[in-house]
Amino acid sequence: MLTLVRSSTARSSRSWILGIQQGCNYATEATFETKPFKLHRLENGPPTTVKITREEALQYYKDMQVIRRMETTAANLYKSKIIRGFCHLYSGQEAVAVGMEHAITKEDGVITAYRAHGWSYMRGVPVLGVLAELTGGRSGCAKGKGGSMHMYCKNFYGGNGIVGAQVPLGAGVALAMKYQGKKNVCLALYGDGAANQGQLFEAYNMAKLWDLPCIFVCENNGYGMGTSAARSSANTDYYTRGDSIPGIWIDAMDVLAVKSATEFSKQFVLKNGPILLEAATYRYHGHSMSDPGTSYRTREEVQEVRQNRDPIGLFKSRIISSALVTEDDLKPYAPGGMNRKKSFDHKWQLTAKNKKADACFLLVIQKIDNDIRQEVEEAAEKAKVDPELPLEDLYSDIYSQPPPNFVVRGSDPTVMVSVR
């Protein structure tokens, strides 16, 4: 029988969830099948059978939901003119960052383009560090100096505003890792819109010549700004465009497929040199906040993806229907068993059609959703009032250890400013 343990406001979410779990007859893990991977210059690819624990499933779900709600909040702050300038949102592509981050370690490197909020969070920047950076506050991960396109933390090299320029930089990070004898890799991500940049192919060539531990990742969301992939690229099989570099196509709306392919790729590049992944994904918003995203695609197209291919919705459905509880565990939730609206303060609709849904898991997920909502809302309120750096700090952090009384030139030769 399911036992509910209601926590007081002072008790942690973890205690609340643990109380629910102790009253449920859970399986400890579940196995899922992914779509087949497409391979280039590989005899064998990643496994399509993925086993995860209950704790892993909840963590992947939480991470994707935090990114989604954080980006929705950023959009609202932008519309309220609290965030200014460039702002590129990651909604719809969450499974890429979450799946890849859970396949590597914090000692591995990641570098990406300007759609970097989700990756910043997954690499270790808290929600406030992202939102305050967007509002220009000193609590931002770059003290408000970088904004949307320039976020950083340890072993996360941005956030880069120049189209495609991060790819050779990522190859350089991989070179440093190999030179230092580290057993780590670097993920160098770019979009399909940057895939025709000449510097990418130069980076591919050098990486292959030197067998660098670099995982090149094309996040193919279908559109480079307002131009579809088919209109901009003669070859839209981006995973094959490394020529002599092996490649893998991934259904990147599936977080488990992304994780499986990345785990495979990490082991591959440490032994054989670079690999090229094409993560087939989709962005819900326009290219940036100045792009409504409806002049080059229909609203129906976006809605169809949201309804049928959404990475969070698909994952949630899979983990709820994965037989994590027994029939007896669900008896209290059968129609007439108890008044769920009164007992749980939300609307449950457990019908005969979905009677085998994991009611325990649903409760845990709802608690996670509520906690995420509260966390992001609190961070947003702090970001709104977070003060900017004082003017004397405008030129700080240019040099790591500047000598005493060191000055740099400002915007013109008449401005000489002390740095620290």
Q: Per-residue confidence of the chain (420 residues) as pLDDT tens digits?
A: 333 333 333 345 555 455 555 555 566 789 999 999 999 999 999 999 999 998 899 899 999 999 999 999 999 999 999 999 999 999 999 999 999 999 999 999 999 999 999 999 999 999 999 999 999 999 999 999 999 999 999 999 999 999 999 999 999 999 999 999 999 999 999 999 999 999 999 999 999 999 999 999 999 999 999 999 999 999 999 999 999 999 999 999 999 999 999 999 999 999 999 999 999 999 999 999 999 999 999 999 999 999 999 999 999 888 888 854 333 433 343 333 333 333 333 333 433 334 444 566 677 788 889 999 999 999 999 999 999 999 888 888 889 899 999 999 888 888 898 888
Give the burial class of 353: count Cβ atoms within 10 A of its Cβ; 0-12 exposed, 13-18 middle, 19 or more buried. Answer: exposed
Domain tally, the chain: 2
Q: How far out from the chain centre does Cα 377 lie?
A: 19
Tokens coding 173: 């990070």
* Structural contact between residues 290 and 73, judged by C-beta atoms closer than 8 angstroms: no
Same domain, 175 and 75: yes
Q: How far apart are CA 276 and CA 170, in angstroms?
A: 13
Tokens coding 413: 């030769």
Same domain, 401 and 306: no
Give me the half-sphere count of Cα atoms (radius 13 Å) on the Cβ side of residue 248.
31
Q: Are strands 186-191 and 214-220 parallel, antiparallel or unpaired?
A: parallel
- Is position 341 within any domain? no
Per-residue model confidence (pLDDT) at position 48: 98
- Is position 155 within any domain? yes
pTM equals: 0.87
Cβ burial 92-124 (10 Å sphere, 16+ → b, else e)? bbbbbbbbbbbbbeeebbbbbbbbbbbbbbbbe
Same domain, 69 and 217: yes
Q: Are strands 223-224 and 227-228 parallel, antiparallel or unpaired?
A: antiparallel
DSSP letter (8 states) at residue 183: S
DSSP H/E element including 78: helix 54-79
CB atoms < 10 A from the CB of 186, how many?
29
CB atoms < 10 A from the CB of 418, how many?
13
Same domain, 308 and 411: no
Please write down the HEC assignment for all residues of 317-333: HHHHCCCCCCHHHHHHH
Same domain, 311 and 414: no
* Structural contact between residues 34 and 318, judged by C-beta atoms closer than 8 angstroms: no
- Is position 245 within any domain? yes
* Structural contact between residues 324 and 56, judged by C-beta atoms closer than 8 angstroms: no
- Is position 339 within any domain? no
* Structural contact between residues 292 and 226, judged by C-beta atoms closer than 8 angstroms: no
- Supply the Cα-derived Rg of the chain in whole angstroms: 23
- Is position 262 within any domain? yes
- Is position 374 within any domain? no
CB atoms < 10 A from the CB of 405, how many?
7
Q: Tell me the residue range of the domain where 50 lies.
A: 29-289+300-317
Same domain, 245 and 161: yes
Per-residue model confidence (pLDDT) at position 363: 77
DSSP letter (8 states) at residue 116: -
CATH of the domain at 94: 3.40.50.970
Same domain, 266 and 130: yes
Q: Are strands 49-53 and 29-33 parallel, antiparallel or unpaired?
A: antiparallel
Per-residue model confidence (pLDDT) at position 17: 53
Q: How far apart are CA 302 and CA 304, in angstroms?
A: 5
Per-residue model confidence (pLDDT) at position 249: 99
User: Residue 206: phi, psi to the nearest 5?
Assistant: -65, -40
- Is position 199 within any domain? yes
Residue 33 β-bridge partners: 49
Per-residue model confidence (pLDDT) at position 317: 87
Instruction: Name the nearest CA neighbour of 258 among 54, 64, 27.
Output: 64
Per-residue model confidence (pLDDT) at position 25: 57
Same domain, 173 and 36: yes
Per-residue model confidence (pLDDT) at position 44: 97
Tokens coding 385: 């009032």
Same domain, 399 and 310: no
- Is position 378 within any domain? no
Same domain, 283 and 401: no
User: Residue 202: phi, psi to the nearest 5?
Assistant: -65, -40
